Amino acid sequence: MLLLCILASLMGLVFIYSATQYYEILRSCAAKQAIFLCLGVIAYVWVTFIDIEFLMEKWWWVFLLLGLGVILTIVPWGEGGDSGNKSWVYLPVIGNYFGFQPGEIAKLSYIVVLAWLINKERPKGLGRFSSIVKYGILTCVFAGMLAVLSGDWGMVLVYLFIFLAMAWVAGVSKWWFIGIGTPLIGGVVFLWHFILPRTKYWTDYRIMRFRVVVEHLKGNEIAPLDEGWQQSRSLLAIGSGRLTGMGFMNGKQTHSPGRESLPARHTDNIFAVCGEEFGMIGCCIVLLVLLAIILRCIWVSRRAKSHMSAYIAMGIAAMLMAQTVINVAMCLYVGPVIGVTLPFFSYGGSSTLTLFIAMGLVSGIKMRPLPSWLKDRSQL
């Protein structure tokens, strides 16, 4: 697990270095990412030896309050720049250099608290109406606060996917998914075709991000210089790389400044940088490494010594899967631009630390030889 994570991060460092050389201010990003990689490895090793189940038995409410408290930092200090939301926090005491994304950090709190809640409800019956309400309230609080305070709908989708995966693996009846999902999907389709086109929101930039994808898949192009610009440039960069790519530091869009270049190349579109400079072969290697990490998390989940540990490992696997699918879909112009980065590969200190801490939790689950109910907690 650790070797796979380090391999992915080192590959990401190569892409970040190439993607930031076109602009002098960004040239230090690779060095910063290397520092966070080292901190992440230290955090991974440290977290591996933490018994998360023991902590959650007595201090679950601390994890809940920490997660919600981190999200609430958006209120006084949230910023977003050109992203259209306030998903970043820059603490005024230590300056912008240590900016972080509250949604990234709060994911870990959400996963462990949801795993604790599902495990607590398991003896009573996971499919009870009261249990479903509890899961829903917890998810709505985390996702709702992010949506309202930051407007970061990409991160909200990741939270929802984590919830669906953990509930499914825990054994919640499929009829709950069908009964709740069918009217929701039907409602979205009805709104899309009959309500939104008749309102002013049809041209809102958030709706337009979805409209450009739908029209692109139909063979039409709308707003090619606005909401569809980032995906158009990303798709062009990936396509121009062909099988083997243009070579390291030779990507035309990766190293071109100005409007005709690849936007967000060291963050959201890092996959496009790989496609342009290392071709389809490089993209396949990236996806295989991420798939190996995800499968490792699932393997640990299936062999965990307790239900709660299994839920945590599966929640982390779902987090990685959701971010990978959303980011790659965005770069291939089959998904909207919603600001979700590619795990381990995209630039971001808070993202890197969160991922390594999450992997440390999975590693700790692998190390734990006994289920929590067999351990004598009275002497601790």
Tens digits of per-residue pLDDT, 56-84? 888 899 999 999 999 998 888 777 655 55
Question: Does residue 374 lie in a domain region?
Answer: no
- Mean pLDDT across 53-57: 87
Domain assignment of residue 357, given as a range = 2-369
Contacts of 68 (CB under 8 A, 6+ apart): 106, 109, 141, 142, 145
pTM assigned to the model? 0.91
Question: Does residue 24 lie in a domain region?
Answer: yes
Contacts of 162 (CB under 8 A, 6+ apart): 107, 110, 111, 114, 315, 318, 319, 322
Condensed to tens digits (0 to 9), the pLDDT of residues 175-231 reads 888 888 899 999 999 998 889 888 888 888 888 989 999 988 888 888 777 888 888
Quick one: pLDDT at residue 90? 77
Contact 277, 254 (CB under 8 A): yes
Question: Does residue 378 lie in a domain region?
Answer: no
Quick one: pLDDT at residue 306? 87
Please state, in angstroms and rounded to a whole number, the distance separating the CA atoms of residues 161 and 326: 11
Which residue type sits at 125? G
Question: Does residue 376 lie in a domain region?
Answer: no
* Phi-psi domain of 371 (left: phi exceeds 0; alpha: psi -120 through 50; beta: other): beta
Query: Whole-number mean pLDDT of the chain?
Result: 88
Instruction: Tell me: pLDDT of 93 over 70.
Output: no
Please state, in angstroms and rounded to a whole number, the distance separating the CA atoms of residues 188 and 191: 5
Question: Does residue 379 lie in a domain region?
Answer: no
Share of the chain above pLDDT 90, in %: 53
Question: Does residue 36 lie in a domain region?
Answer: yes
Question: Does residue 170 lie in a domain region?
Answer: yes
Question: Does residue 377 lie in a domain region?
Answer: no
Instruction: Tell me: pLDDT of 378 over 70.
Output: no
List the structure tokens of 326. 């959303």
Please state, in angstroms and rounded to a whole number, the distance separating the CA atoms of residues 111 and 276: 35
How far CA 139 is from CA of 55, 57, 64, 258, 307, in Å, comes to 21, 20, 12, 41, 20
Condensed to tens digits (0 to 9), the pLDDT of residues 133-175 reads 999 999 999 999 998 888 888 899 999 999 999 999 888 888 8
pLDDT tier for residue 379 given thresholds of 50, 70 and 90: very low
Task: Give the distance, in angstroms, between the CA of residue 307 and the centroid of all CA atoms in the same chain.
Answer: 24
Domain count for the chain? 1
Instruction: Tell me: pLDDT of 236 over 70.
Output: yes
- Mean pLDDT across 331-358: 92
